[in-house]
Amino acid sequence: MNQQEVVVVTGASAGLGRSIAHEFARHGARVALIARDQDRLEAAKKEVEDLGGQALIFPADVADADRIETIAAEVEDTWGPIDVWVNNAMVSVLSPVDQMQPDEYKRVTEVTYLGQVYGTMAALKRMETRDKGTIVLVGSALAYRGIPLQSAYCAAKHAVQGFYDSLRTELIHNKSNVKVTMVQLPAMNTPQFDWMRSRMPNKSRPMGKIYQPEVAARTIYYAAHHPDREFKVGYTSVEAILGNKVAPMIGDWVLARNGYKGQQTNEPETPGRPDNLYDTVKGDYGAHGRFNDQSHDVSAVGWLGRHQAVPIAASVVAGVVLGTLLLKR
């Protein structure tokens, strides 16, 4: 019997995916790394092994459903049953809608939405037969609240949210022990802002409060082993999601005013720079982007999500204290 957890991570060669792979490796997992760039996959594999895990690498585009199915079979042939599948891969385009091209919408949808669908299908096919396993969908506050200049990405994350809701209800209906969870993320300091396709005059940046990818990776690891319905990372995620439920028109106004400037630095964009929409951008970018000095290493919201007993216990204590005070009156 295989004693080591078997995990698959898509988009694992850089950014958040690489941090997720690191987090599982620290716990001794066997991690199958899926991404398009062979060299970055090799670098990620070495890091996983240095951290105490084992790694297999699979150069692939998550938009290729047949390839993802083949990889799932190869992982199980090599290591045995997949315990956790993390759908993380994404691409985006920073552009006003009236400058977008139809093929760009198609491509973002195929990777950011259908890539999660295909990964889920490959994992579910195997997990259902043994009634065991966990699938993690990586979402975003933008799955609830669209922002300017990222219509393709926001739409894809909205689609992931709808897919997740449907799948979760089906698993509950079937009384399945296969678990599915979704983690909603804030702005992250990842290399995507160096290689995302952009039509804006200045270089792109994460909007709002920025968190290091390790912050999200810790919550994703926790979610894989405590798969509640949804986890949120970062106060800004809670603010965006709740704000959109309560007063979406205010969100419209604020984003119309701040959304363009908030997603650009003051540094001019490099004309004709390569992007990763269709092809990889060469170089080992690692897990972090260029905003380390502006990024936060801790999220109180993420911590509370991973330590739910703490606020519950605090509420009980507060209730006891209040009750005692009232009885003494």
Active-site residue set: 153
CB 173 within 8 A of CB 185: no
SS3 category, 78: helix
Distances (CA, A) of 155 to 93, 114, 158, 162, 306: 12, 12, 5, 11, 28
For residue 171, give the nearest of 227, 231, 88, 223 by alpha carbon: 227
Q: 284: burial class by Cβ within 10 Å (0-12, 13-18, 19+)?
A: middle
Residue pair 59/37 in contact (Cβ under 8 Å)? The answer is yes
Q: Which residues contact 133 (CB under 8 A, 6 or more apart)?
A: 81, 82, 83, 84, 85, 123, 126, 127, 178, 179
Asked whether the CA dihedral 100, 101, 104, 105 is positive or negative, the reply is: positive
273 contact partners, CB below 8 Å, separation of at least 6: none
* CB atoms closer than 10 angstroms to residue 162: 11
Exposed (0-12), middle (13-18) or buried (19+): which is 138, by Cβ within 10 Å?
buried
Closest of 219, 146, 161 to residue 188, by C-alpha: 219
Q: How far apart are CA 316 and CA 309, in angstroms?
A: 10
**143 near 245, Cβ under 8 Å?**
no
Estimate to the nearest angstrom the gap between the alpha carbon of 262 and the chain centroid: 21
